[in-house]
Amino acid sequence: MQTREATDGKRYLEGYFAVFNSVYEVVPGWVETIAPGAFARYLSEGKGTKALWNHDSNIVLGNTANSTLTLREDETGLRGSIEINEADTDALNAYARVQRGDVEGCSFGFDIARQDEWWDDEGIYHTVIREVDPLYEVSPCTFPAYSATSISARSKLDELAQARERRLEKWRCEMLKKLKGDN
C-alpha cells in the first residue's frame, strides 16, 4: 500500500489488502489462496467495511459508508484507499509508520461464503476462497498473513518532489548533450 496526498491536500494510504492467487500457509499442511472475484459480489452490494489499524477495532482509519475507505477489485486483488483523518493522531501515526516503511503489508477480516477444498497427493490440504461475505475490515498490518499484500503512503509534496526531480534529470541530460555537441 502507499501513501499519497491528493490535489486537495489530503493524505491517503493505498494498496492491496488481498492479492489473488497468492499462496498463504495457514498452518503446516494447509495452504489457502484467494480466487479472482472473491470480493466482487460483496462490493457490488455496497455493504459496509471498516479500515482498522492492525485489526484493532479501537483504531478505525476509514469506513466505506462515508467514503473515507474505498475498495475495488482489479486483476491483482482487493485494492483500497484510506483517507487520513488529520484530526486523528492514530491515523497520522499510521500514515507515518507506512510512509517510513515500518509497515508494508495488509490483511483483512472476513467470513467465507464459498470455497473449494481438496487434499493433494502429498497430503497438503488446499482451500481456495471463491467468495467473501461479509468483509468486516481491512487493515494495514505489522505482520500480514499474505506477504504479497502492500501498502504505502504518498503526499502531494512527495509527488511534486518526484516531478521536480524528473524535470531536473531531463534538464541535466539535455545540458550534457549540448556540452558534448549532440544537439
Segments in the chain forming alpha helices (H): 40-44, 89-100, 156-180
Half-sphere exposure of 53 (CA within 13 A, CB side): 18
Residue 19: what residue type? V
In tens, the pLDDT along 133-142 reads: 999 999 999 9
Segments in 37-155 forming alpha helices (H): 40-44, 89-100
Label residue 170 by pLDDT band (50, 70, 90). Answer: confident
pLDDT at position 79, please? 97
pLDDT at position 149, please? 93
Q: Is the dihedral of CA 85, 60, 50, 135 positive or negative?
A: positive
pLDDT at position 118, please? 97
The pTM of the full predicted model, rounded to 2 decimals, is 0.81
Backbone angles phi, psi at 73, to 5 degrees: -95, 140
In tens, the pLDDT along 80-114 reads: 999 999 999 999 999 999 999 999 999 999 999 99
